[in-house]
A and B are shown apart, each in its own frame.
Chain A
Amino acid sequence: MPLHRCFATIATVSCFVLAVAVKPAAGQIPQLPDTIFYSAPQPSWTGHLTSLAANTFLGALTGGVVQELRGGSFKDGFTRGALGGAITYVGKRVASERFDGAGLLGRQVGAFGSGLVRNAADGVPSFDRFVVPLGPGRLYVERGGDRSFQFQPKLDLLATAWIVYGVVEPDLHFDAGSSLSAGAAIFRTRDKVMSHAEGDRRVGGFANAGVVFLSDVPAWGKPFLDGAFSHERVHIVQEDQIFLTLTDPIEDWVLHRVPGGRHIARWFDLNASTELFRLTGGLFSSVRERPWEMEASYLSR
């Protein structure tokens, strides 16, 4: 078996074993129906199956359609994109778990899956390019013509801007331990509840370009605070997914056509993933109806 196929098999099997083996969320009673369709309780696997199917389909469609538009094979892009989408689901599932480092591990697994979708869309071999998200930056790993790997770090401009905001905002403080565990910058309030400046919807947290702000109100209790943090970790993986598969290719395409843009694209990512979520969020009448919120709420319940 060729090395890359062997690696693919091991990676896929490992991811699914990981997804199945992880413990149920804290406070949940195993084997209880916790998915509700049309007011009827269903076993929990139906919700996971829905999320898995949606991610697989999204990956397959992205891989297939983009490769077709580039003059490649829809079937090849669809198949490899489906695998990448399924692994992205595993990343979200792991990121939502309640153990230390779950966010970091889940984010890497999710980025690996999204990288497969991106490779499928671009028509390049599945394991010739990887993206490793590290806080407000990413390490792009690419196999060169001589089969050796080349490394290119990039700084995420929007994530950096949100970190600067978190540092200068007096009502927020940086949580180093949670950041290390989540693999992303985490800021917390001191006994304050956050709301959007333009509205008055008070929330447990926000995720913007992989930077999380949490309303840390101790009286809400640990189960709720853990749930809110888990919810935002799923959003981090979702933002990576949308960035790597949809917005980054467009950003790179645009930057390669403006003066000096090629050099900027080499060292920096703009990251419009959160903005894309914000724009499409307007299509839904309430926040709860947004598919990415439903997924995050379900996985972090």
Chain B
Amino acid sequence: MGNGSKLPFALIVALSAGLSGACYDFHDPAFPESGAPVVLHTNLRVTEQRGVQLEAFLTPGLDQDGFSREVETEVIVLMGSAVGPRRVREQDVREYVDSVALADRIGVQPVTLSSPRVRRIQAPPPEIRWFVPQRLDPDTIAVDAGSDLVLRVLPEAAASSPAPQIRQWSVQVTGESTVFTAGSNGLVPAEIRIPAYWLPAPDSADRLRAVLTVYMAGLQRPAPGDYMANINLDTRLTWNIRIRR
């Protein structure tokens, strides 16, 4: 190979020496605590436009011996549909993002969710069957100018199981440039009455928009406590309001 015969080997030696001096660092991995419970963190949102949207993370964690737990059935069953993980992250954390269409109006059917099953976990996978509020008015209602606005809802078609530990609601009425907001904790009332003098000025087409947001949440940790699910559920109901003059 003539004059260049030693150059490739010199290059390999030089490159190797250079690489070994400044390439990678090696670290001890950071782990979750051995024996800590399986954790499912779930955010659900119910809207008329997009049905039930799910974002969830399952952390199987490590067993008492420090080994990664095996997920037996990795689907979340949401409203009867199987939702598989979008991806698996470090430490086997599974990430779920999906949405399921509603077969009926919001609140007619309960929002149901069953957690994935993890091997050698004694607690049953947490489940919910939560009834969210149902709008009893049509999507567009007419209100006489100067009258109170009354929004009618069915707070719960049946008892939610298990009962959410946290319930909050707020209603927001939006006009041309101002917004009126009211809310409370506890179950949403069947009739939300907003006095006329609190209603914002309607837009140029004499219209207002009201959005009721109901938040339900609960931490479930069935006995013996080796599986924990933190579930948050947001429901949004919308009214279009026409001011009659």
Q: Are B83 and A32 in contact (CB under 8 A)?
A: yes
CA distance A142 to B223 in the complex (A): 70
Residues of B within 8 A of A261 (CB): 4
Q: Are B29 and A192 in contact (CB under 8 A)?
A: yes
Residues of B within 8 A of A34 (CB): 86
Q: Are A165 and B22 in contact (CB under 8 A)?
A: no
Residues of A within 8 A of B84 (CB): 27-29, 32
Q: Is A223 an interface residue (CB 8 A)?
A: yes
Residues of B within 8 A of A204 (CB): 90
Q: Are A224 and B99 in contact (CB under 8 A)?
A: no
Residues of A within 8 A of B29 (CB): 191-193, 215, 217, 219-220
Residues 61-96 of chain B, each 1 if its beta carbon lies under 8 Å from chain A, else 0:
010001110100011000000111111111110000
The answer, among B28, B68, B85, for a CB contact under 8 Å with A220, is: B68
* In the complex, chain B residues 180-198 whose Cβ is within 8 Å of any chain A Cβ: none
Q: Are A162 and B19 in contact (CB under 8 A)?
A: yes
CA distance A28 to B19 in the complex (A): 38
* In the complex, chain B residues 95-131 whose Cβ is within 8 Å of any chain A Cβ: 97-99
Q: Is A155 an interface residue (CB 8 A)?
A: yes
Q: Are B28 and A192 in contact (CB under 8 A)?
A: yes
CA distance A131 to B19 in the complex (A): 27
Question: What is the total number of residues of chain A having a CB less than 8 Å from a CB of chain B?
Answer: 52
Q: Which one of B10-18, B143-151, B224-232 is at the interface?
A: B10-18
Q: Are B27 and A157 in contact (CB under 8 A)?
A: no
The answer, among B11, B74, B88, for a CB contact under 8 Å with A224, is: B88
Residues of A within 8 A of B31 (CB): 219
Q: Is B138 an interface residue (CB 8 A)?
A: no
CA distance A269 to B28 in the complex (A): 36
* In the complex, chain A residues 212-262 whose Cβ is within 8 Å of any chain B Cβ: 213, 215, 217-221, 223-224, 227, 259-261
The residues of A with any CB-CB pair to B shorter than 8 Å are 27-29, 32-34, 36, 41, 155, 157-158, 160-162, 164-165, 168-169, 171, 189, 191-198, 202, 204, 206, 213, 215, 217-221, 223-224, 227, 259-261, 263-264, 266-268, 270, 297, 301
Task: Identify the 3 closest CB pairs spanning chains A and B, nearest first.
Answer: A260-B4, A29-B84, A161-B15
